Copies of this chain bind each other. A is one copy, B any other.
C-alpha cells in the first residue's frame, strides 16, 4: 500500500523526527511505499493567497472558494499545491504527524490543509438535493483511503482525559479528525498520542515506539472511528441536525458516533 506522511516539526533531531524515521522504516519493511512531506524542510508556504491561483488576476477581488475551484478545474494552481494533491491522490493512507501546539496543529500544517484542500477536491463536491448535501462526511474524493494523526504533547494523559482541564483529546482533535479528514472522505483511525514528552526517558520511548509500531502494523485492519455518515439517513437535510430519535440527550461531540466503543483513550 502507499502511505503519505505529512510532518510538521522544525527540528529533525526531535522526538517527532525520530518517530517519522521509525514510521518510514517500519512501513517500508512491511512492503509499503512511503512518501514524506516534511513541511519545514520544504519551506512550505502556510498562508492561502491570490498567488495560489495562477488564473487569478491581480487586482481582482479574491473570493477564496471560487478562486480555488476555478484554479483547480483549470489546472492553474501553484505548483507546490498541485504536487501535494498528487501525493494525496496517490496515497492509500495519510498520516499527519505533529506536536500539539495550542491544542491544535502547528500553523505550517494548517496551511497545508488550507492550501492543498482545494474546492472541487476536498469540498464543493457532489449533489446538493433533499437527499444529499454534497459528498462529505464519509464520502468524497478521498473515500476508501485511511488517515491517522500522530501527536505529541508535553501535557499528561489525565489532563486530556474525559474530565481533564485541557478538554478531552478526542474533542480537541474533532475539528481535525471529523472536520478535515472524515469530511473529505477518509476513514479516520484513533490518533496515536504520546503524552508528557518532556519526561520521556529511554524506557518510555521504547514502550511508545512499540505501541506506535503496532498501530502502523494494523493501519489497514484497525476499525476506524465510527463517525456517522452525512448522507446515510442519520441527519436531517438541509438543517443537517442529527435526527431526534438518535442519541437523545446531551452527550457532547460523541453524538456523531454510531457507537462509543471505537474511541478509546491511549
A-side residues, CB < 8 A to B, are 10-11, 13-14, 39-40, 44, 46-50, 61-65, 99, 101-108, 110-111, 113-114, 117, 137, 154, 156, 158-159, 161-168, 171-172, 174-176, 178-180, 228, 230, 235, 238-242, 247, 250-256
Residue pair B46, A46 in contact (C-beta under 8 Å): yes
Residues of B within 8 A of A65 (CB): 154
Q: Are A103 and B175 in contact (CB under 8 A)?
A: yes
Copies of this chain in its oligomeric complex:
2
Chain B residues whose C-beta falls within 8 Å of the C-beta of A107 in the assembled complex: 46-48, 107-108, 110-111, 113-114
Partner pick for A103 among B40, B64, B154, B180, CB 8 A cutoff: B180
CA distance A239 to B157 in the complex (A): 8
Q: Is B179 in contact with A172, judged by CB distance below 8 angstroms?
A: yes
In whole angstroms, what is the CA distance A61 to B171 when docked? 32
Most chain B beta-carbon neighbours within 10 Å: one of A46, A62, A110, A238: A110
Query: What residues on B are CB-neighbors of A253 within 8 Å?
Result: 167-168, 171, 252-253
Q: Contact: A165 with B13, CB < 8 Å?
A: no
Q: Which residue of B lies closest to A115 (CB)?
A: B107
Closest chain B residue to A45, Cβ basis:
B46
Also in contact, A159 and B240, with CB within 8 A (given A102-B180, A166-B179, A180-B103): yes
Q: A104-B175, A250-B251 are in contact. Are A46 and B11 (CB under 8 A)?
A: no
Q: In the complex, which residues of chain B have a beta carbon less than 8 angstroms from the beta carbon of A239?
A: 156, 158-159, 164
> What 6 pairs between A and B have smallest CB-CB spacing?
A252-B252, A107-B111, A103-B179, A46-B46, A103-B175, A46-B107
How far is the CB of A53 from the nearest CB of chain B, in Å? 11
Q: Are B256 and A167 in contact (CB under 8 A)?
A: yes
Contacts of A101 in B (CB 8 A): 48, 114
Q: CB-CB < 8 A to A165: which residues of B?
A: 137, 228, 230, 235, 240-242, 256
